[in-house]
Amino acid sequence: KNQVEQSPQSLIILEGKNCTLQCNYTVSPFSNLRWYKQDTGRGPVSLTIMTFSENTKSNGRYTATLDADTKQSSLHITASQLSDSASYICVVSEEAAGNKLTFGGGTRVLVKP
Amino acid sequence: KAGVTQTPRYLIKTRGQQVTLSCSPISGHRSVSWYQQTPGQGLQFLFEYFSETQRNKGNFPGRFSGRQFSNSRSEMNVSTLELGDSALYLCASSVNPGTAFRGYGYTFGSGTRLTVV
């Protein structure tokens, strides 16, 4: 069964510090991998999207990396702000299944002042 | 331009009842997908509609159904509600399924929080 596993499940960091979230997937072949940010009570908002041939993509203080050989991705948050407190969801698009989306369970990040 | 609009935002229903949720996509978007999000299972795909036709369906029982109207607005219906149906129901819209899965113009609404008591 194709899966997307994220770690850690939750994370507390101090404002201004950096953090890295992990995403491991077994989906293959895949079309693209996306990271979404979801604020409490809101829908997910796309941060980055990477295809098989890309290994890094930035969006402001968010930088995603992709290693298609090891099937791992990471999302790095630089100089965290209180507004970064949210859930971060890794999503893999599965090419062989008509581009079906498989979602990770998310990492809940809490930034403290 | 307006985003994806879901109504109502919050809903409390009793076990055994049925419920209808509504999703209005971004103007010009013709593809609408529905997802269930729970703390235990995360986001799970329910179904996708394009041009009033269901294109894909997730692994949910027949109590979950949906439809899409000619103006691209979509509704999902859950009959004979169970306690386990309590969740945040999200819809997402895109111009067409191709742009959705390539990751462009795939926008989520804020969801409907359904509580079954």
Q: Give yes or no for residue B75 having a pLDDT over 80.
A: yes
Question: Which residues in chain B have Cβ-Cβ distances shorter than 8 Å to A36?
Answer: 108
pLDDT tens by residue, B26-61: 999 999 999 999 987 888 889 889 999 998 888 899
Q: Give yes or no for residue A98 having a pLDDT over 80.
A: no
CB contact under 8 A, A98 and B111: no
- Strands (DSSP E) contained in chain A are 4-7, 10-14, 19-25, 30-38, 45-51, 56-59, 62-67, 72-77, 86-94, 100-103, 107-112
* Mean of the per-residue pLDDT values of chain A: 90
* Mean of the per-residue pLDDT values of chain B: 90
pLDDT at B40: 79
Residue A59 contacts B, CB cutoff 8 Å: no
Question: Which residues in chain B have Cβ-Cβ distances shorter than 8 Å to A31?
Answer: 101-102
Contacts of residue A12, Cβ cutoff 8 Å, sequence gap at least 6: A109, A110, A112
As a whole number of angstroms, the distance between CA A98 and CA A1 comes to: 16
pLDDT tens by residue, B79-100: 999 999 999 999 999 887 665 5
As a whole number of angstroms, the distance between CA B49 and CA B34 comes to: 9
> Omega into B39 within 30° of 0, i.e. cis?
no
Percent of chain B whose predicted confidence (pLDDT) is above 70: 91
Q: Give yes or no for residue A100 having a pLDDT over 90.
A: no
Residue A60 contacts B, CB cutoff 8 Å: no
**Residue with the two structure tokens 């369970």:** A105
Q: What is the DSSP letter of B69?
A: -
